[in-house]
Amino acid sequence: MSNTDDSTAQLRAPFWRHLLAMVYDLFLIIPLLMVTSGLLLAIHGPAETATARSVPAWQQWGLAYVALIAFYGTFWRQKGQTLGMQAWRVKLVSSRQASKVTWNQAAARVTVASIPFVLALMPYLVFDVNNAGLWIYISTAVIASSGFWWRFANTERLYLHDLATHSELRLIPARKKA
């Protein structure tokens, strides 16, 4: 499929396809984040005890964001798809006139999509994770998934990060077998 195809002729990708594509992409993202953590550990050196941090949290989060933006931006700028999206025939298209998703859209999409996850972690700055009550875990899950539930709350059926970046996920037709 070329970049000049009319994206409005394609159906929106179903929620379940997007979830499965994200699970596939986790198999690439987790090792990527392990490498970034390893780089920071090589720079700062190991901690003396398991309770002490040798790498400042802001550096670890900052490098993780850069790595995620580079990962998604590279895939989305080339074909509009990560490997997981290719497996589940999902493609990210720009709602604007541009044929490809821009780097600004990719960076904004990653940032806006991660805001609910970051907000969900805030209660753990106050409460001990090991001794937190069930209500903390439930409220965290609700907050973390709120960006995805937004899709079911609006009439256009777009995620919050779709609306913020003027992009959306489309379903690609199956390839015809020769």
Q: Residues with Cβ < 8 Å from 146, sequence gap 6 or more?
A: 116, 160
CA–CA distance, 65 with 108 (Å, rounded to integer): 11
Assess whether pLDDT exceeds 70 at residue 97: no
**For 46-85, what is each residue's pLDDT tens digit?**
877 777 778 888 899 999 999 999 999 999 999 999 999 9
- Give me the percent of the chain exceeding a pLDDT of 70: 93
Question: Taking the model in full, what pTM does it have?
Answer: 0.82
Q: Where are the domains of the chain?
A: 7-171
Percent helix, strand, coil in the chain, to 5, is: 60, 5, 30
Largest CA-CA distance found in the chain, in angstroms, rounded:
61
The model's confidence at residue 9, banded by pLDDT at 50, 70 and 90, is low
Query: What pLDDT, on a 0 to 100 scale, did the predictor assign at position 82?
Result: 96
Lowest-pLDDT choice from 20-29, 89-98, 110-119: 89-98
Of 14, 16, 18, 37, the residue nearest 26 (C-alpha): 18
Q: Is the pLDDT of residue 160 over 60?
A: yes
Between 139 and 90, whose confidence is greater? 90
